[in-house]
Structure 1
Amino acid sequence: MLDANIKTQLKAYLEKLQQPIELIASFDDSAKAEEMRGLLVDIAELSAKVSLREDGTANLRPSFAIAQPGQAPRIHFAGIPMGHEFTSLILALLQTGGHPPKVDAEVIAQIKALPGNFKFETFISLSCHNCPDVVQALNLMAVLNPGVTSTMIDGGMFQGEVERRQIMAVPTVFLNGEEFGAGRMSIEEIIAKVDTGAAARDAEKINARQVFDVLVIGGGPAGASAAIYAARKGIRTGLLAERFGGQVMDTLAIENFISVKATDGPKLVMGLEEHVKDYDVDIMNLQRAAKLIPGDLIEVQLENGATVKSKSVILATGARWREMNVPGEQQYRGKGVAYCPHCDGPLFKGKRVAVIGGGNSGVEAAIDLAGIVGHVTLIEFDSQLRADAVLQRKLASLPNVTIITKALTTEVSGNGEKVDGLLYKDRNTDEVKRIDLEGIFVQIGLLPNTDWLKGTVNLSNRGEIEIDAKGQTSVAGVFAAGDCTTVPYKQIIIAMGEGAKASLSAFDHLIRTSAPA
């Protein structure tokens, strides 16, 4: 099952086991069961501290669990955790075997203190780059708290479960049989949802913060860059982020970040976070700004009721996927309407889907999906596609792709449970037409996260924060950087430069306003 190179690396990892563990398999007569058996035998042969049993009683087969001998298993894998999930398997083995996790002590204490029983089930696809974060977070919670169990379910292997529970996006998490959440979630976000008193405690801690010299709002490339540049000046720096990394966390392949030939979003974000933490930056994660109040001391009110004060502020709130804003889109979001073809594409194997948008993102999505689904219809509002020529040629060569231009999507159709079609207006004839399909992937660009700033700082007609050459907004002491601003070309490398520039401008502002008359 595992090649020699992977076995060598895995053997080195398993040497870190502090306690014996056992793999408890629940097999059936399928070919996948034999494949899983091969994987588990390979693992057991690599360490004397790992044993394998085949007397598991799980309902989902083939599957296996990981536990310490004599203990009821709390971590389960219904599927073969290869691809993006192989790291989840390694961490589950090590952490069950007593290897300490790389998580803040405060988070560990919060997990251990959670009362009650929590049965988590996470539906994933092995090509999903968002899924491992959720699986690893829930597995760790199961290791630390006896009341928590975590089961990873490969949607591609258990199509019956996918159909029964109407899973049309990954990761989708169920808690005690009820849908808990969908999409990427950090361990802190998960804990905040199950620990009902967490928000109030966070607000109390934030209210106790002293005044910052620079407060950065946003944890993406622009915000991280701004925080580092401010902290290097030796001034009191804070960073508020709804989720560290922002939109980059949802980016699969990055091949234009100069000096790095190829990387991916989660890996780049990990580097950004580690770099920021090397400096004296007060990071307040999972916090959403609700209101900006200008003044000699600028106040930022948060959705949890807390207030932060600072002498200067850098807005780096980034952008989010633009939605179609048509009837049915919100109703069927996660039930056929999707925004990440890499994550959710495998759930539509053999089915008919549409991609909305003819730019690079839309055409790339259509090309990727064409290798998985039965048929792809690409719908573009304009009279021609806007993607690079090389992508258009590739798309045109695919036999299971239809391209429709001069089309305006008007409605997402569904049967009450999931998507069953799409309506669009032919802009040549004004005739409304229907396409029968099971999935719709929206790829029509980004929308700046600036709704909360309306009426406070000047925004463009696109909702972008208007800034000058130094990143200064219309409000004294408030600067902005990155995809939320009027700076053209929304690129990671540009956002980082803009964040540095805004931070240097904020420092210059502090020097000038604090100087004696």
Structure 2
Amino acid sequence: MLDADLKTQLQAYLEKVTQPIELVASLDDGEKSRELEALLQDVASLSDKISYARRDDDARKPSFAINRVGTDVGVRFAGIPMGHEFTSLVLALLQVGGHPSKAAPELLEQVRDLEGEYVFETFMSLSCQSCPDTVQALNLMSVINPNIRHVAIDGALYQDEVEQRQVMSVPTVFLNGQPFDQGRMTIEQVLAKLDTGASQRDAEKISAKDAFDVLVVGGGPAGAAAAIYAARKGIRTGIAGERFGGQVLDTMAIENFISVTYTEGPKLASALEQHVREYDVDIMNLQRASKLIPASEPGGLIEVQLENGASLKSRSVVLATGARWRQMNVPGEEQYRNKGVAYCPHCDGPLFKGKRVAVIGGGNSGVEAAIDLAGIVSHVTLIEFDNQLRADDVLQRKLRSLANVTVVTSGQTTEVLGDGQKVNGLVYKDRIGGDSHRVELEGVFVQIGLLPNSEWLKGTVALSPRGEIEVDAYGRTSIPGVFAAGDVTTVPYKQIVIAMGEGSKAALSAFDHLIRTSAPAETAAAVAA
């Protein structure tokens, strides 16, 4: 199952296992069960602390448990955790095997203190780059607290269960048999839902913090770069963001990040966070800004209020809140969001195997999505508002070569249809002839660009008609001491490498602002030196 190179790499990791673990499989006579057994036997052969057994005692076949011998510690996978989930398998082996987690000690203690019984089930797909974070978070929680159990289920392998439980997007998490949440989740996010007092405690801790020299709002490439450049100046730096990595977390293949021929969004996001943590930066994750209050006098403190009620103050601020998927804003879209309406073809595509879907948008992302989905689903209808596709010629040629793809141009989607539980069609209008057409399908993938995350700044900072923060060549906004960078700004070409450069520039501009206005004593001394 594993090639020689992968075995060598895995064997090196498994040397960190300190306690004996057992791989217990539940199998049937199918091909997937044979593949899983081969994988587990390969893993067991790489360490004398790992054994393999077949018991067939779980209803889901194929599935397997990783158990710490003689204890209640363990996790379960229903499926074959390869693809993006191979990392989840390796971490589960290490953590069940006694290797300590790198998570913050106070976070682990909060997990240990949870009372009650929790049985989590996560439906994921092996091609989903968002799923591993959720799987790994819940796996680690089940290792730390014996009252927590978790099974990661490959939705493509258990289609009947997906249908019965109406899972229309991944990751989808159930707790004690009931829907719990959808989308990427970290341990902090899981705890915030389980521990209802956590948000208020966080707000109190955040509000008690001293003023920063530079406060970065947003944790994407622009925000990470700004935090690093500010911290390297030796000034008090904080970063508050809704999720570290931002939109990069939802990006699959990255092949144009200079000097790195290929990487994937979650890997880059993790590297960004690790780099920021190398410096003395106060990282405040899972925090969404709600209001910006300019300084009342030149050189005074700028205030950023957060949705949880907390308030932060800083001598300068870098806004790097990025952008999000643009919605169609048609009837039925919100009602059937995650019930057939999706925004990530890589994540949710496998759930629509053999079904009919539509892709809305004829740019590069839309055409790429249609090409990828055509290899999974029975038929793809691509609908583009313009009278021609806008994707690169090479992508258009590939798209038109596929027999199970229909391309509609000059089409305006007007409604998403459903039966109250899930999508069963959509309606689009021919913009030339004016006729309306209904398409019977089970999924709608929206790929029509991005919207800047700037609503909370309306009436405070000058915005363009598109809602982007207006900045000059130095990243300065209309408010003294407030700078901006990345996809939320008017800087053209929304690219990772450009966002990083703009974030770095905004931090340098913020530092220049500080030393020319009310710079703190330690900064002035550093400049003088």
Quote the Cα distance in structure 2 between the aligned partners of 1:66 and 1:281: 37
Distance 1:387 1:220 in 2: 26
Q: Could you report, residue by residue, the CA deviation over 1:245-277 in whole angstroms, capped at 9, with x for unpaired residues?
A: 000111111111111111111111111111111
Quote the offset at 1:48 in angstroms.
Answer: 2.0
Say whether 1:514 aligns with 2:518: yes
Matching of residues 479-494 of structure 1 within 5 Å = 479-494=483-498
Q: Does 1:231 align with 2:231?
A: yes
* Cα pair 1:212 1:236 within 8 Å, conserved: yes
Partner SS for 1:206: helix
Q: Residues 231 and 279 of structure 2 are in contact (CA less than 8 Å); yes or no, is this contact kept in structure 1?
A: yes
- Letter matched to residue 509 of structure 2: S
Q: Which amino acid aligns with 1:462?
A: R
CA distance in 1, matches of 2:495, 2:15: 42
Secondary structure in 2 matching 1:311: strand
Q: Which amino acid aligns with 2:348?
A: D
- 1:237-256 to 2 correspondences below 5 Å: 237-256=237-256
Asked if 1 retains the 8 angstrom alpha-carbon contact of 2:73 and 2:146, the reply is: no
- The superposition leaves residues 383-407 of structure 1 with CA deviations (integer Å, 9 ceiling, x where unpaired) of 0011111111111111111100011
Tell me the secondary structure at the aligned position of residue 153 of structure 2.
strand
Question: How far off is 1:376 after superposition?
Answer: 0.6
Is the 1:172–1:183 Cα contact (8 Å) retained in structure 2?
yes
34-43 vs 149-158, which moves further: 34-43
Deviations, residues 276-306 of structure 1 (Å, cap 9, x unaligned)? 1111111111111111111121111111111
Structure 1 counterpart of 2:250, which letter?
D
Per the TM alignment, residue 51 of structure 1 is displaced from its structure 2 partner at its CA by: 1.7
Residues of 1 paired with 2:66 and 2:250: CA distance?
30
Q: Per-residue CA shift, 1:17-62, capped at 9, x if unaligned? A: 1111111222222222222122222222222211222225222122
Alignment-derived partner of residue 49 in structure 1: 49
Q: Secondary structure at the match of 1:103?
A: coil
Does the alignment pair 1:498 with 2:502?
A: yes
Which segments of 5 or more consecutive residues in structure 2 lack a partner in the other structure? Answer: 521-529
CA shift at 1:72, angstroms? 3.9
Q: In 2, are the aligned partners of 1:122 and 1:152 still within 8 Å (CA)?
A: yes
Please give the alpha-carbon distance, in whole angstroms, between the structure 1 residues aligned to 2:519 and 2:20.
Answer: 64
Give the match for residue 430 of structure 1: 434
What is residue 129 of structure 1 aligned with on the other side?
129
Letter of the structure 2 residue corresponding to residue 18 of structure 1: T
Structure-1 separation of matches of 2:248 and 2:33: 36
Secondary structure, counterpart of 1:29 in structure 2: coil
Task: Output the CA distance in 2 between the equivalents of 1:234 and 1:96.
Answer: 40
Other-structure match for 2:103: 103
The residue matched to 1:476 in structure 2 has which SS? coil
Matched, 1:414 2:418: yes
Distance 1:73 1:307 in 2: 40
Corresponding residue to 2:348 among 344, 347, 357: 344
Match of 2:316 in 1: 312
Contact 2:73–2:143 under 8 Å retained in 1:
no
TM-aligned CA deviation for residue 319 of structure 1: 0.1
- Following superposition, the deviation at residue 161 of structure 1 comes to 0.5
**Cα contact 2:371–2:399 (8 A) shared by 1:** yes
CA-based RMSD of the aligned residues comes to 1.3
Tell me the amino acid that sits aligned with residue 48 of structure 1.
D
Structure 2 Cα separation of the partners of residues 316 and 420 of structure 1: 38
Counterpart of 2:380 (choices 376, 379, 398) is 376
3-state SS in 2 of match to 1:248: helix
* Aligned partners of 1:218 and 1:240 also within 8 Å: yes
> What SS does the corresponding residue of 1:290 show, helix, strand or coil?
strand
In the TM superposition, residue 515 of structure 1 has moved relative to its aligned partner by 7.1
3-state SS, counterpart of residue 314 of structure 1 = strand
Per the TM alignment, residue 378 of structure 1 is displaced from its structure 2 partner at its CA by 0.5
Report the residue type matching 1:218 in the other structure: G
CA distance in 2, matches of 1:208, 1:293: 18
Superposed displacement of residue 509, structure 1: 1.2
- SS in structure 2 at match of 1:213: strand
Q: Does 1:393 align with 2:390?
A: no
Given candidates 319, 326, 343, the residue that maps to 1:322 is 326
- Counterpart of 2:22 in structure 1 is 22
Instruction: Name the % identity.
Output: 71
SS in 2 for 1:464: coil
- The aligned counterpart of 2:527 is none
Distance 1:114 1:56 in 2: 31
Is the counterpart of residue 404 in structure 1 residue 408 in structure 2? yes
Asked whether the equivalents of residues 74 and 148 of structure 1 are also in contact (C-alpha less than 8 Å), the reply is no
* Mapped contact 1:65–1:73 kept (Cα < 8 A): no
Q: Which residue of 1 aligns with 2:70?
A: 70
The amino acid across from 1:216 in the alignment is V
The aligned counterpart of 1:471 is: 475
The CA deviation at 1:10 is 2.0
2:333 counterpart SS class: coil
Q: Verify the 8 A CA contact 1:214 1:238 in the aligned structure 2.
A: yes
CA positional deviation for 1:9: 2.1
Please list the CA deviations of residues 133-167 of structure 1 after superposition, one character each: whole Å capped at 9, or x if unmatched.
11111100000001100101011111111010111
Contact 2:73 2:142 in 1 (8 A): no
- State the AA in 2 paired with 1:267: K
Alpha-carbon distance in 1 for matches of 2:93, 2:56:
17
Q: Distance in 1 between matches of 2:367 and 2:11?
A: 42
Conserved in 1, the CA contact under 8 Å of 2:72 and 2:146? no
Distance 2:63 2:274 in 1: 35
Aligned equivalents of 1:402, 1:16: Cα separation in 2 = 52
Give structure 1 stretches of 5+ with no counterpart: none
Judge conservation of contact 1:56–1:64 (CA < 8 Å) in 2.
no
Aligned partner of 2:525 in structure 1 is none
For 2:176 and 2:229, the matched residues in 1 are separated by 45
CA distance in 1, matches of 2:186, 2:250: 13
The amino acid of 1:345's aligned partner reads: G
Query: 1:162 maps to what in 2?
Result: 162
Distance in 2, Cα, partners of 1:254 & 1:79: 27
Q: Distance in 2 between matches of 1:390 and 1:110?
A: 51
Report the AA paired with residue 160 of structure 2. G
1:115 partnered with 2:123: no
Kindly report which structure 2 residues correspond to 1:143-292, keeping only aligned pairs within 5 A, or say none: 143-292=143-292
TM-score normalised by the chain length of structure 1: 0.98
- Partners of 1:187 and 1:124 in 2: how far apart? 17
SS of the equivalent of 2:263 reads coil
Deviation at 1:359, TM superposition (A): 0.4
